[in-house]
Amino acid sequence: MMKSVLYAMVLSLLSFAVLAEHHGKKKPSFDELDTNGDGVLSRDEVKGPLADHFDTIDADGDGVITKDEMPEKPPRKKTY
């Protein structure tokens, strides 16, 4: 009984630590994503949902994402 209570407490603490770590992370700004400093985001500079939806976000189809094309909220990952 005591062993299972202790186990549950440890799992709860670990879960809380993981959630706190992810919750406190700030999404990178456009300038932080623009690793080469050219004022636009190319395919090789983006990951995750921005990469998954690159062609949709690149509204004018010029192969880069500008600050004006960036969505206010990041797109959600594709789920199938």
Task: Tell me what pLDDT residue 66 has.
Answer: 96
Q: Locate 45 and state its tokens.
A: 């500079």
CA atoms in the 13 A half-sphere facing the CB of 14: 6
What is the rounded distance in angstroms from the CA atom of residue 6 to the CA atom of residue 78?
38
Domain ranges of the chain: 30-69
Tens of pLDDT, residue by residue over 29-78, are 999 999 999 999 999 999 988 999 999 999 999 999 999 999 877 556 66
DSSP three-state, residue 46: coil
**Residue 48 φ/ψ region, left for φ over 0, alpha for ψ in the -120 to 50 degree band, beta for the rest:** left
